[in-house]
Amino acid sequence: MVLETVQANLTDAIHQGWLEAADDLEASDLASAMALVEGLSVGVVQPTANVGDGFRFEARFDETVLDINEGDVRVKVRVNGVFYFNAGYNIAVGIKPRFGIPPAYVDHFEAWIGFEQRAQLQVSGEANAQVNKEKKVAEYRFKPLCFAIGPVPVCVVPTVYIFVGATGEVNLRFSYNAVQTAQAKMGARWTDSRGWEEIEPTPAFNTSFDQNFDINAGLKTRAYTKAEGALMLYGIAGPTIGAQMSIELDVAVPRDPFWILRGSLRAYYSFIVDIPVIGRVAEHSGTLYEIGREFGRSPAPPPTITIRTSPATVQLRVETDLAQFFRVAHPLGNVDLTVTSNLDGTLYSGSWSTNPNSLFGPELKRTFNTVGSRTLTLIARYVNSQTSSSLVLDVVNTPPTLNLQYGGDPRQGQIYPITVLITDPNEPDTTRLCGSTQWSVEAPDTLSATTGCSVSVTFGTTGARQIRVTARDSEGATTTRTLTLDVLPPPVNPYPKITGYGVYSDEYTGGPIRCGSVRVADGRTIDLNNRGCVTPHRYYGGITVENPSNEALTYDWKLYVSPPGFDNLLLSETASTSYIFELYNVHNSGLTTNDCRVTVKVNAPDPSRSKGPITVWTGRCTYYSFTLR
C-alpha cells in the first residue's frame, strides 16, 4: 500500500501532536483502477455466486511472465487466473517537543497494512532452465483520506499494486491448477523508549490443488501473487510493506513422492523516519514473518502388471525366461517383485527393473522338472503400494522327433547302414535316448542291433522292405517312424563293401601300448578342443571298407553341427584318400555345444558302386562357432 501525502513545511508543524487513523478500504473509496498489461481486467468484484465471495477488489490476468528462446535455452511460463483482495490500514504518529536542536522529535510511529486475499492460478509452460520473473499487472488508487495533527492537515492516498510471477527450476512441459487464500496483518512500530518492534502477526493461509496435471519430466516451479505498498506521511515516515503468497509444486521423476505441494506466506517491510532539515532519525527493515506449509504429496502410485501370455507354454526341463510372459511398469523407478508358483514355490523375490529405455529387459529364467499346469502369482510393490496379477503356465513334454539318415541303393545281401537323428527338447542326454530306441524288421531281413541310434540292415530279399524305429523319452512319450526301401538284386561287383564305421577317441588305455583308439558311443558329447594321446586331435571319424581289388577309393567326409533350428556344415574333406577324418575346431571364439553328426561317402571308380553317404556317428559337439581376427 502506498500512502502519498501532502507535505507541510516544518515551520507550520506543531511542537507536539499525534495522529491515529484506521479503516477498511471500500469499493466506494476506489478512485481508479488501472491495468498495466494488455488483456488485464481490474476493478470491483461483481456480485457472482460462489466467486470472490467476501472480497471487494479483483484483478484478472493471463500473463506470459517469461518467454525465452535462445540457443539451447527454451523457457516459456504462463500464469493466468484471478486475484481477489481486501485491504485496510492503520496509521499512528506522535511528535513531542524537546530542548535544543531540533525542537521536535518523533516519539512514536506505528503503521500496519492488512490484506485478505485469494488467488486462483493456472500455471503452464515448457522450459529447460531456471526461471525468475514477476510483473506488476495492476494498480488501484483510492481517494485521498485527510486527517490533522494539530493545525497541520495530513492527506494520504492509498494505492495497492498487484504483482504476479513465477520462479523455480522447470523442465519440459507442465500444467497445474491451484487456489490459495491468505489473511495477513503486517506492520511495525517505533518508540523512543523501545526502538523498533514488530507487530505480532496472526497470519493464516490455505491451498487447494487440482491433481489433474501433466508432467512429462520434472519441475520445481513456484507461482505467486504479491500485494505491496509504501507509505509517505508528512515527510517523516516512508514504510514499504508487502505480502507475498506463493505455491510451489515440486515434481521429480523418479522419486517418491513424485510431487509435493507447498505453500508459503511472507510479509516484509522497511521503515525510514526522515525529518526534513533535521535528517534521518530512524531506519529499520526486515521480514515480519515467513511461514510455510506442505499441503499434500502424491501417494506412491501402484505398479502396473501386464500379462502378455496366459496360458503360456514352456518345455519340460528347458530353461525358459518367464519375463517374456509379463511386463511390470512404474513411472518412478524399480519395484520389488515376488513371483510364486502354486506347485514350485517362490520363483523370484527381489528388485525388478522398470526402465523402459533399457536395451535388455530383466530376466526370470527358470527350469521346471514336472509337467502340468501351474498358476504363477505376481506381486509388485513400490513403497506402500502394490499390485498383483497371475498367469497360467503349462509345462509340457514334447515327444522325440526322428530323422532317418541313409544313402545309396540298398542291395540284397549287402550291409545297409541307417542312422536315426533324435531331437527332444526335454532330454539333455541323447545317449539315454539312443539306448531306449528300438528297431525292427521282418524276416528274412536282419539287423546288426535292435537298439541304438545307428544300425545296419541286411536285406534277405528284394522289393519293398520296411524298417521300423521307435524312440521313447523319460516320461514314456514315444515316436515311431517306418522307412520303406526298394531293395535291388545283388550287384555283379558288390565292392567296395562297408564293414565298419564310427567316431573314435585317441586316448590313454593303459597296458604296454598305453595309447589306443576307443569307439565313441552314439549320443556322447565330444570336445573338439581336446588333444589326443599322441595326436594333435583327440577325435576322428573312421570307416573300414572291404576292397579286394585294391581299387583307388576316395572319401567325402562331413561334420555337421545343429544349433536349434539350423543344420550347419562345420568341417569337410572332399575326395580324401584317407579313411580317417580328424575332428577339430576351425574357429577360435564363441564356445558352444550342440547336436552334431559325421557322414561319409565312399567313392568307387565306377560311380554306380559308390556307397553312401552314410551317417557314421551322431552325438553332441563342443566347438567354437565363429572366428575373431
Strand segments, DSSP code E, in 397-538 are: 401-405, 415-423, 438-441, 446-447, 454-458, 463-472, 478-487, 497-510, 514-519, 525-527
* Weakest mean pLDDT among 20-24, 45-49, 330-334, 580-584: 45-49
CATH number of the domain at 427, please. Answer: 2.60.40.1080
Q: What was the pLDDT predicted at 600?
A: 96
* In-domain check, residue 131: yes
CATH number of the domain at 318, please. Answer: 2.60.40.10
Tell me: do 571 and 458 sit in the same domain: no
Tell me: do 171 and 193 sit in the same domain: yes
Q: What was the pLDDT predicted at 107?
A: 53
Residue 181 has pLDDT above 90, yes or no: no
* In-domain check, residue 418: yes
* Weakest mean pLDDT among 82-91, 158-167, 187-196: 187-196
Residue 4 has pLDDT above 50, yes or no: no
Q: What was the pLDDT predicted at 144?
A: 53
pLDDT tens digits for 578-621? 999 999 999 999 999 999 999 999 999 999 999 989 999 999 99
Question: What average pLDDT does the segment 228-234 reach?
Answer: 43
Tell me: do 520 and 389 sit in the same domain: no
* In-domain check, residue 230: yes
- Averaging pLDDT over each range in 198-212, 227-241, 335-349, which range is the top one? 335-349
Indicate the average pLDDT of the chain. Answer: 73
Residue 359 has pLDDT above 90, yes or no: no
Residues 6+ apart with CB under 8 A from 601: 407, 555, 556, 610, 611, 612, 613, 614
Tell me: do 319 and 290 sit in the same domain: no
Residue 110 has pLDDT above 60, yes or no: no
* In-domain check, residue 492: no
Cell readout for 463 is 522289393
Question: What average pLDDT does the segment 483-502 reach?
Answer: 93
Is residue 568 a contact partner of residue 562, using CB atoms and an 8 Å limit?
A: yes
Residue 541 has pLDDT above 80, yes or no: yes
* In-domain check, residue 333: yes
The candidate with the shortest Cα–Cα distance to 218, out of 178, 183, 168, is 168
Residue 446 has pLDDT above 90, yes or no: yes
Residue 187 has pLDDT above 80, yes or no: no
Residue 132 has pLDDT above 70, yes or no: no
* In-domain check, residue 610: yes
Tell me: do 367 and 461 sit in the same domain: no
* Whole-number percent of the chain with pLDDT over 90: 41
Tell me: do 406 and 391 sit in the same domain: no
Tell me: do 376 and 414 sit in the same domain: no
Count of domains for the chain = 4
Question: What average pLDDT does the segment 43-71 reach?
Answer: 51
Residue 317 has pLDDT above 70, yes or no: yes
Q: Which of 380, 396, 412 is the last residue of a domain?
A: 396
Q: What was the pLDDT predicted at 237?
A: 41
> Which residue, chain included where needed, has cell 502506498?
2
Query: Which of the two residues, 409 and 162, has the higher pLDDT score?
Result: 409
Q: What was the pLDDT predicted at 355?
A: 87
Instruction: State which residues form the domain around 329.
Output: 304-396
Tell me: do 190 and 134 sit in the same domain: yes
Tell me: do 201 and 327 sit in the same domain: no
pLDDT confidence of 39, banded at 50, 70, 90?
A: very low
Tell me: do 405 and 392 sit in the same domain: no
Tell me: do 431 and 577 sit in the same domain: no
Q: What was the pLDDT predicted at 114?
A: 52
Residue 108 has pLDDT above 70, yes or no: no
Q: Which of 297, 332, 361 is the last residue of a domain?
A: 297
pLDDT confidence of 217, banded at 50, 70, 90?
A: very low
Tell me: do 427 and 545 sit in the same domain: no
* In-domain check, residue 576: yes
Residue 519 has pLDDT above 60, yes or no: yes
Q: Which of 297, 332, 354 is the last residue of a domain?
A: 297
Question: What average pLDDT does the segment 22-36 reach?
Answer: 51
Cell readout for 590 is 564363441
CATH number of the domain at 524, please. Answer: 2.60.40
pLDDT tens digits for 451-460? 999 999 999 9
* Euclidean distance between CA atoms 212 and 563, whole angstroms: 54
Residue 153: is the preceding peptide bond cis (ω within 30°)?
no
* In-domain check, residue 582: yes
The candidate with the shortest Cα–Cα distance to 219, out of 123, 304, 155, 307, is 123
The per-residue DSSP string of 518-534 comes to: EEPPTT-EEETT---SS
Q: What was the pLDDT predicted at 451?
A: 94
